[in-house]
Amino acid sequence: MDDFIVRAMLAGIGLALVSGPLGCFVVWRRMAYFGDTMSHSALLGVALAFLLNINLMVGVIGVTVTVSLCLLFLQKRGSLSTDALLGLLSHSALALGMVLIAFMGSVRFDLLSLLFGDILAVGTVDVIAIYVCAAVILVLLYLLWRPLLASTVNRELAEAEGLNPERTQLIFMIMMAAIIAIAMKIVGVLLITALLIIPAATARWFAKSPEQMAIASSLIGVASVVLGLEGSLQFDSASGPSIVVAGMCLFLLSLFASSLISRILGTERKQ
């Protein structure tokens, strides 16, 4: 295999391993729109990074964390519903990012790469950064698994047990910001949420516990990356969308398999 394909495969697998468990919490907490808001604000982070001449990942994480803090602040005000606030922040950040890009005529942007990713352009330094970031997020998830799960199931009960759901939610949002920053180069701004949600939704059909679902989601994400990259090379299609399409196909297969298994078990019970 060529070096760029190996790097792309390693980068995608590293991302899938950490996006699986995070995606489970996105599904459990019904935060899909929050994922979209974070990914859209990533474009603003890219524009500011170029404008201020700072590291791209630092710019993206800085903006996504700021948007998360704004969401928490506005939620406490209680003047608008959460979905309305997410819509406001999401589209405002995306529009502001596009306007900043338009004003920076001296800087060349590959918008298609930003929007849909270019995993084949990932370098050795990018792969190392992905695995370092993924390792930190997985360690944090391991340490915060119980508080995150408790606040997801019942926030009031978590508060009664002294688990501090607000702090846990803030750390979770920071982890989401970090995963979006490292995923942007692989699947792009518009497809990041799909990579978080589709493997988790697929794993939900078969998992019998939260831990099983998190592990299965990671493995399904890895399979999506491998199949998507193979399809991209075979059919000369865009790599980021190909990974998401592979994940969608796995979801449909799991849906069909689970329906078939339910029918078989139902028939056996009747007999």
Q: According to the model, what pLDDT value does residue 29 have?
A: 84
Please state which CATH number belongs to domain 3-190.
1.10.3470.10
Tens of pLDDT, residue by residue over 45-101, are 888 888 888 887 788 888 888 888 888 888 877 777 878 888 888 888 888 988 888
* C-alpha of 236 from chain center: 25
Contact 164, 213 (CB under 8 A): no
Tens of pLDDT, residue by residue over 97-145, are 888 887 876 666 666 777 777 788 888 888 888 899 889 999 999 998 9
Contact 24, 170 (CB under 8 A): no
Tens of pLDDT, residue by residue over 144-198, are 898 888 888 877 777 777 777 888 888 888 888 888 888 887 887 777 888 889 9
Backbone angles phi, psi at 204, to 5 degrees: -65, -25
Contact 24, 145 (CB under 8 A): no
Q: According to the model, what pLDDT value does residue 220 have?
A: 94
Which single residue is written with the structure tokens 């059909």?
205
Tens of pLDDT, residue by residue over 197-235, are 999 999 988 888 899 999 999 999 999 999 999 998 888
Contact 201, 250 (CB under 8 A): no
Token pair for 2: 């060529």
Q: According to the model, what pLDDT value does residue 85 have?
A: 85
